[in-house]
Amino acid sequence: MGIENKNIGVVGSGSFGTAMVKMLLENAATVNWCVRDETLKNHIKQEKRNPNYLSSVAFDVERLNLTTSIDQLVHQSDIIIFVVPSIYLLETLKPLTISLENKIIITAIKGLIPQSCEIIGDYFMKEYGVAEENIGVIAGPCHAEEIALERLSYITLAFKNGENLNRCRRYLKSDFVRVTPSDDIYGTEHSAVLKNVYAISAGIANGLNYGDNFIAVLLSNAIREMEEYLKIISPIDRNINNSVYLGDLLVTGYSYFSRNRMFGNMIGKGYTVKSALMEMNMVPEGYYATEGIFKISEENGLNLPILETVHKILYQEKNPRKQFKKLTKKID
């Protein structure tokens, strides 16, 4: 079925949700967009911009079908991209009364369902009856801010079903966005969650005044931890050095656009978790994911020193400087 015969929608109006709409408007005649509230919807209609995120991006509002109703969005869309923080997904879906079984669901959420420690794709399959072949995953390496600036960016789109992959890929690629295809939906989604946790570790190190030399060693150890984790969770043949794994880790660990690195930097500088979360106007998915990833790691008997260190600092209120001093003896 051609691109003109599928209606596409986005749920979420944060930075990446806004960037996603910008990407889709490069190809789609219209984009359905479910935003947080009527005030935001009316502002976008009138001012042609999202006042809260990526406000430099101007939209052709004649090609936007804005709504605050998840039911309306689902009813009007064949392909639905979810780009809301994982901690708000259940609340977002609560008003939904329409079946998702015949929809193509793409998750661009880089977190876990907090209550069950599930990746988002698994949750949609289990709770909403979405077929595995209709589950897609969008991952990086890619920052919303660079998409807004139309700097050349790379995203990975993963589907088990090749037809769905090719159909959805056509919506996303443009002069400034390259789309890499993958069939590793589980590894892609888990690694997108993991890299946020490790980006927090890089931020903490920076906040503690560790230098680039140490952070390079830290992230080289982090990719090995990710590989060990993915081998247990989804044991298929994959190249951990591909951009969706290593590249996404590096951009999230090093970039000043990274909210998870920023959050970690604040922790390293002495902020409490609560004060850091209050000061940020964006959700650092890695904080919420750390608890779930740590539980999964423990259940599978994995020895992941960096993950354990971040968990101790964030959830056991251990001193960051003391914990990183111990960590330096465990990595090389």
Annotated binding residue at 140? no
User: Would you state the pLDDT for residue 2?
Assistant: 39
- Hey, which residues does 302 pair with through a beta bridge? none
99: its two tokens = 């079946």
Are 225 and 311 in contact, with CB atoms under 8 Å apart? no
- What pLDDT does residue 17 have? 96
The two three-digit tokens of residue 244, written as one number: 């969706």
Q: Which DSSP helix (H) or strand (E) runs through 165? A: helix 162-172
> CA-to-CA distance for 4 and 44, rounded, in angstroms?
25
* H helix intervals, 48-94: 70-76, 89-93
Query: Please, what are the domains in the chain?
Result: 3-183 (3.40.50.720), 187-327 (1.10.1040.10)
- Ligand-binding annotation for 13, yes or no, is yes
* 3-class DSSP assignment, residue 53: coil
CA nearest neighbour of 291 among 89, 82, 84, 116: 116
Q: Which of 282, 265, 254 is nearest to 53 (CA)?
A: 282
CA–CA separation, 41 and 13 (whole Å): 10
Q: How many whole angstroms separate alpha carbon 330 and alpha carbon 49? A: 48
DSSP labels, 181-247: EES-HHHHHHHHHHHHHHHHHHHHHHHTT--HHHHHHHHHHHHHHHHHHHHHHS-S---TTSIIIII
Q: Is 129 marked as a binding-site residue?
A: no
Q: Do the bridges between strand 177-182 and strand 153-159 make them parallel or antiparallel, or are there none, so unpaired?
A: parallel
| Alpha carbons 30 and 63: distance in angstroms, whole number | 5
**Distance from C-alpha of 274 to C-alpha of 237, rounded to nearest angstrom:** 40
Question: What confidence score (pLDDT) does residue 256 get?
Answer: 87
d(CA 202, CA 65): 40
pLDDT of residue 3: 43
**322 labelled ligand-binding:** no
pTM of the model: 0.95
pLDDT at 5: 57
Q: Is 195 a catalytic residue?
A: yes
Q: What contacts 301, CB < 8 A, 6 or more positions away?
A: none
Low-confidence ranges of the chain (pLDDT < 50): 1-4
Q: Is 174 annotated as ligand-binding?
A: no
Distance of CA 205 to the CA centre of its chain: 22
Q: Report CA dihedral (134, 93, 64, 149) to the nearest 10 degrees.
A: -80
What is the H or E stretch that residue 19 is in? helix 15-24
Ligand-binding annotation for 260, yes or no, is: yes
Q: Which of 22, 195, 269, 325 is catalytic?
A: 195
**12 Rama class: left (phi>0) / alpha (psi -120 to 50) / beta:** left
Q: How confident is the model over 168-227, as pLDDT tens digits?
A: 999 999 999 999 999 999 999 999 999 999 999 999 999 999 999 999 999 999 999 999
